[in-house]
Amino acid sequence: MSDAPWPEGVGRRLLNTVDSTNAEAFRLAPQMAGPCWILGGEQTAGRGRRARAWASPRGNFHGTLLLHPKEPAAEVALRSFAAALALREAFVAVTGLPAAFSLKWPNDVLLNGGKVAGILLESSGAGQGVAHLAIGIGVNLIAAPDPAQVEAGAVRPVSLLSETGVRVSPEAFLAALAPAYARWEAIFTSQGFAPLRAEWLAHAARLGEVIRARTGAETREGLFETIDDSGALILRQPGGSVAIPAAEVFF
């Protein structure tokens, strides 16, 4: 288990039931001066990327970090990589199994090749900038959705408990996650994206292999070459390398 202290200056709110921790973050945002973690015992209206429903049974982790970033919107979005790195560190801290966890572009964490966690960034604007950022994180600590409920070709969902035998409470997982995120946040704000990019690539799933990236109705297949300085996926195809800023990736 992680023995890192709770990060200084970061709030923590634990809720028994909530519609969505991201929604709660935006409700709290105007009255919060600093960063704050919001943890829900269960969510009644949890959601993932592209407004998909996110199964939120009690015992799994449903949390959001509320931030008030200062950077332009494109840079703010790079915090999804900080969240992924922090998630992986938290998993390693509670299991001691570093080789079991990898990172799937753009924002999933894999355990033994199955999806164990997802990240959803949502923001509210202020002029050209971002007033509030909600980094929503869902982790299958004890239960995963039925594979029949995920779309064809998607990575199979798994739980931490079923794959490792490790049972950890949402509160204990947050105690490992919050300091890990605070460290990556400090690196990002002081050194930029480069160190995050390097560390993320060190743990990237299927790097150097052929993958498929789907954007809307278009699917492109190519070699997963790298990610660029904006976090975009670089896919090498016969005609050359192409940068894909947003897509669903299939293996």
Q: Are 37 and 178 in contact (CB under 8 A)?
A: yes
Q: CA distances (Å), 159 to each of 162, 186, 207, in order?
A: 5, 30, 23
Residues 6+ apart with CB under 8 A from 211: 221, 222, 223, 224, 235, 249, 250, 251
All structural domains of the chain: 11-202 (3.30.930.10), 210-250 (2.30.30)
* β-bridge partners, 215: 218
Please give the pLDDT value at position 56. 67
Tally the residues of the chain. Answer: 251
Please give the pLDDT value at position 114. 96
- pLDDT averages per 10-residue partition of the chain, 251 residues: 86 94 94 95 74 73 96 92 98 98 96 96 78 95 87 88 97 98 98 98 97 91 97 96 94 88
Please give the pLDDT value at position 34. 94
pTM of the predicted structure, to 2 decimals: 0.94
